[in-house]
Structure 1
Amino acid sequence: MARRSEDLRPPLVSAPDLPPHLESAAPKRGADLQASRIELTGDADLSHSTLDQCVLTGSAGALELRGATLMDVDLQNVQVTTLAAREANLRRVRITGGRIGTLDLTDARIHELELQGVRIDYLTLAGAKAVDVLVEHCQITTLDLPGSTLTRMAFEGTRCDALGTRGMRAEHVDLRGLDALAFLDVSSLRGTTLTMAQVEQLAPVFAASAGISVRD
């Protein structure tokens, strides 16, 4: 039975809880940083680190966050070629403004993530488990969600060229605010909410996936 639109639950997100004063800190692999402001320059390796109540700014060719734990972290107008957070744990993380070439959240565990006004060439949540995600006013070239488990995720005023959903498991995922030029796998859209215009756009693909030949 199809889920009624009035049952759709929005993401529950809140801003990172940051202290009034932050101490400057340098990125370091395996670091344990609290109440810190981290200025990115060159390549930065914070893999397997713990960041609690931190702000990241600046530019980096690569920002490595593999296996890191981020709690109440704000990334402000960062310019990063590759931000790799594979197998990371994110809780109340916000990325505002800036540009990211590749944002890799493969196999991440996410609880409260906001993306606001970010330009991203390639965003992947392959295999990630994410609860409460809000994407607002972003431009994304490719959004790849294969094998992800998404709960309470919504888009507002966001555009992307291609959306890949192969093997995605979704519950309360609101795609109405996502202007996608191409949906690469309509068979994995169960649990999402679309507008009537989006459904009409996808009608030929839905028909083909059901083995229906449409001819005028």
Structure 2
Amino acid sequence: MASRRTALRPPLVSEPDLPDIVSPAAPRRSSDLRAAIIEVDGEADLAHSTLEQCVLSGSGSALDLDGATMMDVDVRDLRVAKVSARRSTLRRVRISGGRLGTLDLSDSGVHELELRDVRIDYLTLAGCKAVDVRVDSCRIAALDMPGATLSRVAFAATSSDEVDPRGMRAEHLDLRGLDALGFLDVTALRGATLTLRQVELLAPVFATAAGILISD
């Protein structure tokens, strides 16, 4: 776990390595897709699939990526009500633009993930093990991280109504760029870096968690 003497380390996130030419491919369960562009339309089932050097876009009601392996994948302007990627493996994945109702990464393994300019109503990283994640210019209504293990994760110009960090383990977690209205458990923020202003705003909550009575 990070200590006060440990310098904050930023995430090391690189762009997906994509080929010059990608070919259209239909989403099918347990597919093995390489150098493909996949267009979501309605409900798409890519559960237990392998996507390598692919582009994913489109719109629909549901996208199933449970148990999938995604490596060097660029998700562009995706508009889907529910994206489920539970127990999946992500490496060098970028999600930019678009609107997602739910993005479920529960119990997944994540290494090099970038979220940029995305609106997400509900993002859950419950039980997720994530290393090198950057969240930039996003609007996330509810952010759940219970039981997550996070290392080198940073937020920039991002806002959230409610953050649930209960049971989270964090190392080099940079929350200075996260404008959150509330945290469900401030004691779970051990290992995170906040600005002085954020700490001042959370002072009453910290005091309550420490059993301190505040009275003028």
Q: Which TM-score tier does this pair reach, normalised by the shorter chain? A: over 0.9
Matches within 5 A, 1:5-84: 7-84=7-84
Q: Distance in 2 between matches of 1:55 and 1:141?
A: 26
Q: What letter matches 1:99 in structure 2?
A: R
Alignment RMSD, CA only? 0.9
Q: Distance in 2 between matches of 1:35 and 1:142?
A: 33
Number of the residue aligned with 2:206:
206
1:64-88: CA deviation from partner (whole Å, max 9, x where unpaired): 0000000000100000100000000
Q: Secondary structure at the match of 1:212?
A: coil
Q: How far 1:95 moved relative to its partner?
A: 0.2
Give the unaligned 5+ runs of structure 1.
Answer: none
Q: How far 1:60 moved relative to its partner?
A: 1.6
1:124-174: CA deviation from partner (whole Å, max 9, x where unpaired): 000000000000000010000000000000000000000110000000000
1:88-109: CA deviation from partner (whole Å, max 9, x where unpaired): 0000000000000000000000
Q: Distance in 2 between matches of 1:16 and 1:60?
A: 24
Runs of 4+ in 1 over 2 A off after TM superposition: none
1:22-74: CA deviation from partner (whole Å, max 9, x where unpaired): 01000000000000000110100000000000001110210000000000001
Number of the residue aligned with 2:108:
108
Q: Secondary structure at the match of 1:131?
A: strand
TM-score by length of 1: 0.98
Number of the residue aligned with 1:128:
128
Q: How far 1:210 moved relative to its partner?
A: 0.6
Aligned residues: 215
Q: Distance in 2 between matches of 1:4 and 1:161?
A: 31
Matches within 5 A, 1:160-175: 160-175=160-175
TM-score by length of 2: 0.98
Q: What letter matches 2:201 in structure 1?
A: Q
Q: How far 1:2 moved relative to its partner?
A: 4.3
Q: Distance in 1 between matches of 2:4 and 2:92?
A: 28
Q: Distance in 2 between matches of 1:181 and 1:87?
A: 29
Q: How far 1:3 moved relative to its partner?
A: 1.6
Q: Distance in 1 between matches of 2:39 and 2:83?
A: 15
